[in-house]
Amino acid sequence: MTTQRLFFALELPTALQQTLVQWRADNFPSEAGKPVAAANLHLTLAFLGEVSAATSQTLQQLAARIQQPGFTLDLDDAGHWPRPGVVWLGCQRAPRGLLQLASLLRAQAARHGCAQGTQPFHPHVTLLRHATSPVALPPRGFHWQLQVTHFSLFASTYAQGRTRYKRLARWPLSPHPGD
């Protein structure tokens, strides 16, 4: 059976990806960890793992039925998880819309055999991997804001030492109230 390694995520605009890469270069020494490529910077909503074509299709049909308003995301927090070796960007207050969307996608995934683990959802954009030694984090005060209007399904592949994410599908959120 062929499977694909899949995850639902929020894409970051290319300009923001570039800005974050520059900020990372300015704020972290090269020995802090392995930088995630600009095009791979994203925020995972639900990780599905290795999924069959049938399960992928089912989860995509369910995703297409989701009706939720868009929301504003403020990236204004950073942290370091030494055990998985991840330095991340996140939000001091996660918007309710983000938590609802992730919760729904994770519940649908779990119901179709994609175990969601026991860790609570902590929305984050991974900036560095293999960051297992102590890392000095930039002081708070940085802040990037984005309007989230879509969510997407990605396939992750690894070849010749490089991870690539391919977007398989994308769905709109309804217009943000007040927009």
| 11 close to 152: Cβ distance less than 8 angstroms | yes
Q: Give, for 144, the enclosing helix (H) or strand (E).
A: strand 144-148
Tell me if 47 contacts ligand 2AM by CB under 6 A.
yes
Nearer residue to ligand 2AM within complex by CB, 69 or 104:
104
Q: Is 1 exposed, middle or buried (0-12, 13-18, 19+ CB in 10 A)?
A: exposed
124 is catalytic: yes
Q: Judged by CB under 6 A, which of 18, 19, 44, 60 binds ligand 2AM?
A: 44
Locate the DSSP E strands across the chain.
3-11, 34-35, 42-52, 71-75, 77-81, 86-90, 125-129, 144-148, 150-159, 162-172
CA distance 60 to 69: 18
122 is catalytic: no
Which 69-88 residues touch ligand 2AM, going by CB under 6 A? Answer: 86
Amino acid identity, position 42? H
The two structure tokens encoding residue 129: 């991997």
Which 125-164 residues touch ligand 2AM, going by CB under 6 A? Answer: 126, 156
Q: Whole-number minimum distance, CB 140 to ligand 2AM, in Å?
A: 21
Single out the catalytic residue among 124, 130, 143, 176.
Answer: 124
Nearer residue to ligand 2AM within complex by CB, 47 or 151:
47
Q: Whole-number minimum distance, CB 175 to ligand 2AM, in Å?
A: 27
Q: How far is CA 92 from the centre of its chain?
A: 16
| 168 close to 154: Cβ distance less than 8 angstroms | yes
Single out the catalytic residue among 42, 122, 130, 176.
Answer: 42
Q: Whole-number minimum distance, CB 1 to ligand 2AM, in Å?
A: 20
| 74 close to 179: Cβ distance less than 8 angstroms | no
Nearer residue to ligand 2AM within complex by CB, 169 or 176:
169
Tell me if 28 contacts ligand 2AM by CB under 6 A.
no
Active site residues: 42, 124
List of residues contacting ligand 2AM (CB under 6 A)? 7, 44, 47, 86, 117, 126, 156
